[in-house]
Amino acid sequence: MLPVPTIPAFMPPRRILMGPGPSDVYPEVLAAQSRPTIGHLDPLFVGMMDELKSLIQYAFQTKNEMTLAVSAPGSAGMETCFVNLVEPGEKVIVCRNGVFGERMRQNVERVGGVAVVVDNEWGEPVCPDKVEAALVAHPDAKFLAFVHAETSTGALSDAKTLCTLAQLHDCISIVDAVTSLGGVELLVDEWGIDAIYSGSQKCLSCVPGLSPVSFSPKAVAKLKARTTQVQSWFLDQTLVMGYWGNGNGAKRSYHHTAPVNALYALHESLRLLANEGLENAWARHRKMHQLLRDGLTKLGLKFVVEEASRLPQLNTVYIPDGVDDAAVRKHLLEEYNLEIGAGLGALAGKAWRIGLMGYGARRENVSLCLHALEESLNQN
C-alpha cells in the first residue's frame, strides 16, 4: 500500500482580489455556501432554484424562460451557447478584439461551423461598421458573436447597436457577458440579445464555477429545429431544461447532480445584487473606477482603452518602461496580500489588469491598491 499522506488542512490567506477574476466574495455568500447540503431533487432545493432563476432573469433584465445557471464556469457557458445553437456548416460572424473573441472562433470551428472573423485592435471595442460590412458580405450568416466586455483588455463594446445589426440581418446574437453582468448596463430583452452567458466569479462576487445563461425564444426555436444532435451531452439544453423546469409545473427530471452549495452561493450573491439594485451597482462601479482612474493617472500610468470604451470594473494599464511586471505583482501579493492581474495574449508582459468587481469595488480597496502600487513603483 502507498504510505498514508500527512497533509495538513489547507488554510488560504485572506487575499484582496483586484485582478480580472475571481473577485472578492461577499462574506454572506461564503456563509451561504457553508449551509447544510440537501439533495438536488429535494422540494426545498427545487424551490430555491425557481428563486435563483428569477434572480438571474433580473440580473440579465430578461423574461426568457430558458434562463439558468450552467454547472460549470463561464467558459462552459460559452460552449453551451455554441454547441446548442450552431450546427455543422453554419456561418458565424465572430468579432475578435481580444482573447475571448478568439475563444469564440475556436468554439465555432470545434462544432463544425464556419467562422468569419471581424478583427479589431486589442484595447478597442468592436466596430459596428466592420460588423455591418461583414453581414452584408455574408448574407448567409446565421449568427453574430461578440464579447460585450473583453476581459483581456478592459474594452466595452456597444451591445445594443451590434444586436440591432444582427436583427436587421436575421442573425441570432451570441454575447459574452462574463465580465459585464452586474458591473455595467446590460439589458437583454431591450437590446434583443438572443443567447448570453456570464460567470459567477466576476461582478457577481460569487464563488467561481457557475455560468448564468439565457436564451431568447428565437434562440430556443433554433435549438428545437436542429437537424443534428447537440455535440455535448452534458451541455445539451434540451436535457438540462428538464431539470431546471419549463415553467408549466412539470416534474423535474434528473440530469446531473447539481453543485448544491455553489448554487446556494449564487442565490445569495444575486439576492444581494437585487437588494442593492442594478442601477446602484452600475453607479458604484463607475464611481470606484473614477477614483482609481484619477489615482493611476497621478502615478503616471496610461490606460490601454480610451475612456469612452473603458470598462469601469476592469482597468488595464500599460506597465511603465523599465518596470519588472512580475516583481511588482509579487511585491503586492507578499507585502499587501493584494492580487492584480497580468496581461493576456498581445498584452502579456505589457500591461496590468486591475479589477473593481462586485464586492471588490470598494473605496478601501482603491486606496490600498494605489498606495501599494506607488510604493512598488518607487522601489522598482
Cβ–Cβ under 8 Å, residues 130 and 120:
yes
167: amino acid identity, one letter: Q
DSSP, collapsed to helix, strand or coil, labels residue 353 as strand
Q: How far is Cα 293 from Cα 274, in angstroms, rounded to an integer?
A: 27
Instruction: Give the length of the chain.
Output: 380
The strand pairing partners of 116, in sequence order, are 93
- Annotated ligand binding at 293? The verdict is no
Q: How far is Cα 120 from Cα 135, in angstroms, rounded to an integer?
A: 16
Q: At 232, list the grid cell.
A: 455535448
What contacts 103, CB < 8 A, 6 or more positions away? 75, 78
Q: At 297, list the grid cell.
A: 493617472
35: amino acid identity, one letter: R
DSSP, collapsed to helix, strand or coil, labels residue 109 as helix
Angle, alpha carbons 100-104-109 (nearest 5°): 145
Q: How far is Cα 300 from Cα 49, in angstroms, rounded to an integer?
A: 48
The strand pairing partners of 283, in sequence order, are none
Determine if the peptide bond prior to 13 is cis (ω within 30°): no
Annotated binding site: 353
Residues placed in the known binding site for substrate: 353
